[in-house]
Every structure is written in structure tokens, then in C-alpha cells.
Amino acid sequence: MGECAICHQRSNQIADALSLCAACILVDTPRAHAQAAAAHARSRREFQLPARPPRARKGARCQQCINACSIEAGQVGYCGVRRNHGGRVIGGDAQSAAVQWYHDPLPTNCVADWVCPASGPAGYPEFSDTAGPEHGYTNLAVFYGACSFNCLFCQNWQFKEHSIDGPRHSAMELAAAVTSTTRCICFFGGDPSCQIEHALTAARTARHERQNRLLRICWETNGSVSRSALNEMSELSLDSGGCVKFDLKAWDNSLHRALCGVTNRRTLRNFAYLGRWISRRPDPPFLIASTLLVPGYVQAEQVGQLAAFIAQLDPNVPYALLAFHPAFEMSDLPTTSHRQAMDCLAAAKSAGLTRVRLGNVHLLT
């Protein structure tokens, strides 16, 4: 049971590593900022990752994501894969990325599986030649071992152990992994944002080599990538029948910083920007959102505000609410309760969204 360092409330919905309750985070005081920053610094220290995005006065500047690191010679950026080598930033480019991949049989358990051509009639016949699930085909699942955020609840935190010194692969190696039964490529992680040049090169190469054969390009991201890269990602998805899936962690910026270490401002701006692309291809859905229902922190009020934001763009954007499983620095929290899930589901629908789904229901308590 955690205790808030500010109000001293004790609850099983206060993560001991953060030692802040949601109410004190939302008040947004310097003390809460310092407490959250210390929690993030501790969580990154054991992986030799910078406590915060570096701001060296004469460093090499990286523009891949929201962090805009300025990196000293011989040092790494916030993500751990981008580094200053001889005055220029390298890593995460077409020649070398911290990345792994595997073939996942379709239909697969994906955030968009309920509205995707791999699982049903969406996009048929232009983006799938089967009117139902694509049995016998695979998704090439591409996991990038670095992230522009530092979510204290990260479900895949183990990648941090290898961000700096793990194995590296080229974009050509990745593109060569596409087989005759590959119907889609999903880039996720971690997050593709830190190594987006590698991902874009691999996606373009794989599409070119497949020519007129079906190969959908999808992205699962925190949305912190640069606008120029977002444009390229989105064009690939639109043209191929794939989608862009944004993981919207929280609406309130102070809560987002406390949970993820980084502001959500670019994420929300990028999502709103892509809202203008939806009409270019209504079927299958191009833009999709999800939110992890973290007990004690991401409750109905946060979900309702996110849903209202999405609904203003287009009420038909699919929105998945995902039950939480304890992990990383929030391994002492409970799983999402049935009541929290139902409250969040009701809040999303009340905000005007027409396509809301509750995922990971087997985790609910």
C-alpha cells in the first residue's frame, strides 16, 4: 500500500515508487513535479539511461521526437539509442536500430483487431481479399527497443535492458523478413518514434518489393514523433490499408508527466492533426486511439476528457480502453476493477464516441 508524499493518504491505488496520489499530481505544484522527476530518475538509473532529455549547450541535436535532445560527445539521448558520435547523431537510422521482429498469425491480438481487415470485413476487397479473418496469413510484428517516454506502468519495460548496448539490425534485414504470407507490418515497442528513419526505410522497402501484393503498414505509437515523420508514416498507412494507433496515456499534462516523464502536448497536437486525414479513407479506419486504465490515476474523468477531444475530431474514431496489469514501477497496483472499467466506458460513450471497446477484460477484478 503506497503513501502520497504530499497529503500522506495511504491506498493500494498509490504506486509506492511514485508516492503521489492523482489529486496531488493534478494540483500541479513544484513539490509534486520534483517528486515525480525523482521517481523517473530512479527508474532509469539502473538501465544507465539519462534521467531527463539532455540539454548540452554544444551538443548534437536530435529532432526525432518531442524530447529534442542536445547530446554531448560520446553520450546518448533520452531514448538510449541515439548518440553523439563525432559531432553528429547516429543510431536508429536505416543502418542500425535496436529492433526485433516475429511473425504473428492472423487474426492477432492487436489494439485495432476489432476494426482491422485482418479480423473481419473492414477494407474488403481493396485492402483484403478475404471478407473475414485472414487465417493462414501473418503480421510481421516489429518491436523497437527504445522509447521517447518513460511510462512507470510500462508493460514491455524489459527492452530498457538492451536499449544502449543490445543487438542492432538494418532496415534491409527487417524488410527481408517479409514473406509471401505476410499481410501487414505493425511497428510498435517501446516506440518507433526514436528510430523512425529505420522504420520508414524498412516499410518503404518492403512495400516496393511487394509491388501490387497486399501489405498493410500499421503503427502503434505514443504520438511524440516529429510532424515530418508523422506525415510519412500516415501516407504509408493510408495507401496500404493500415492504421495509426495512438496510445493516449492521460488528458491532463501534469498527470501525463508524472506517469510518463514527458509532456503529452505533441501527442495531442499530432492526433488532432491526423483527425483531418480521416475522411481520406473512412474504411478501414485510419486513426485509432487507446488508453490504459491505470487504477487510481487514469479514471473516468481523464477518459471522458480524452473521449471528448477525440469526438470533436470525429465521433467514429475507434477507441479501445485497456485493462491494466501491474508492471515495472507500478507492479504494486491492482488490476483494473470492473467498476473502474464500466465508469470509463460510460464516460467515453457520454462524450459522444460511437465506437468504444473494452479490451483485456480477463484482467478485470
| pLDDT tens per residue across span 246-295 | 999 999 999 999 999 999 999 999 999 999 999 999 999 999 999 999 99
- Tell me the C-alpha distance between 325 and 292, whole Å: 9
**Is residue 250 included in any domain, yes or no?**
yes
CATH label of the domain that carries residue 257 = 3.20.20.70
pLDDT of residue 141: 98
Cα distance between residue 4 and residue 360, in whole Å: 29
pLDDT tens readout for residues 54-73: 999 999 999 999 999 999 99
Q: What is the pLDDT of residue 211?
A: 81
Residue 40 confidence (pLDDT) = 98
Buried b / exposed e along 123-152 (16+ C-beta atoms within 10 A)? bbeebbebeebbeebbbbbbbbbbbbbbbb
**Domain interval for residue 307:** 99-363
Provide the residue count of the chain: 365
Residue 337: predicted pLDDT = 97
pLDDT in tens, 168-226: 999 999 999 999 999 999 999 999 999 999 999 999 999 999 887 899 999 999 999 99
- What is the separation of C-alpha 256 from the centre of its chain, rounded to a whole number of angstroms? 13
Q: Tell whether 79 is covered by a domain.
A: no
Average the pLDDT over 312-321 and give the result. Answer: 98
In a domain, 329, yes or no: yes
Give the C-alpha separation, 255 to 232, whole Å: 30
- CA distances to 8, 232, 236 from 219, rounded to whole Å, are 41, 12, 10
pLDDT at 235 > cutoff 90: yes
Q: pTM value?
A: 0.96
Residue of 293, 291, 330, 22 whose CA lies nearest to 152: 330
Per-residue pLDDT at 14: 98
Q: How far apart are CA 284 and CA 287, in angstroms?
A: 9
Residue 171 inside a domain? The answer is: yes
Residues 89-145 pLDDT 10s: 999 999 999 999 999 999 998 899 999 999 999 999 999 999 999 999 999 999 999
Q: Is residue 188 part of a domain?
A: yes
| Domain assignment present for 2 | no
Read off the amino acid at residue 15.
A
Domain count, the chain: 1
pLDDT band at 323 (very low <50, low <70, confident <90, very high): very high
Q: What is the CA radius of gyration of the chain?
A: 20
Average pLDDT over residues 344-357: 98
pLDDT of residue 109: 87
> What pLDDT is recorded for position 212?
76
Q: What is the pLDDT of residues 145-165, one digit of tens each?
A: 999 999 999 999 999 999 999
Residue 54 placed within a domain = no
